[in-house]
A = this chain, B = another copy of it.
């Protein structure tokens, strides 16, 4: 990674020498990769104990979801974006992909322990956006009024 200043070095204690404030540090790219609404929504879906699978016997906690279930839940995601994001999550070790040779083939995704370690924050981001939407809308209105 890039040479860092003394001040930046003090930032690094938590991360085994990585520091996302440093442009050339690989953790900057990883932060970029995980800071993505589709990543947040996929992790929130796979880790969720919510009942958005009403026909499922799943009692809560992380669970496998089929590609088609994810595509339906993440309304509006393109097939290309969903496939790319899942592949990058699989490559990074956050999800496992299981192919069952049914006809047609069934492909399902499940969080790994590493993925589960990120799930709480991703669910938190989604919940934050939902919980503070009215607040943010009010701030935007006030800001735009001040400018006008």
**A131 in the interface (beta carbon within 8 A):** yes
Query: Contact mask A89-131 → B, CB, 8 Å, 1/0?
Result: 0111100000000000000000000100110010011111111
Chain A residue total in the interface (Cβ 8 A): 67
Chain B residues with CB under 8 A of A54 = 6-7, 10
**A12 in the interface (beta carbon within 8 A):** yes
Known contacts A35-B36, A75-B21, A93-B136; is A7 also within 8 Å of B52 by CB? yes
Q: How far is the CA of A109 from the CA of B79 in the complex (A)?
A: 40
A20 to chain B, nearest CB (A): 5
Closest residue of chain B to A12 (Cβ to Cβ) is B130
Q: How far is the CA of A142 from the CA of B92 in the complex (A)?
A: 10
Chain B residues with CB under 8 A of A40 = 20, 31, 35
Known contacts A131-B15, A137-B26, A140-B92; is A31 also within 8 Å of B41 by CB? yes
Chain B residues with CB under 8 A of A136 = 30, 92-93, 114
**A58 in the interface (beta carbon within 8 A):** no
A37→B28 contact, CB < 8 A: yes
Chain B residues with CB under 8 A of A18 = 129-131, 133
Closest residue of chain B to A135 (Cβ to Cβ) is B114
Nearest 10 A/B pairs, CB to CB: A15-B130, A93-B139, A23-B76, A18-B130, A31-B129, A23-B75, A30-B129, A32-B37, A91-B143, A27-B129
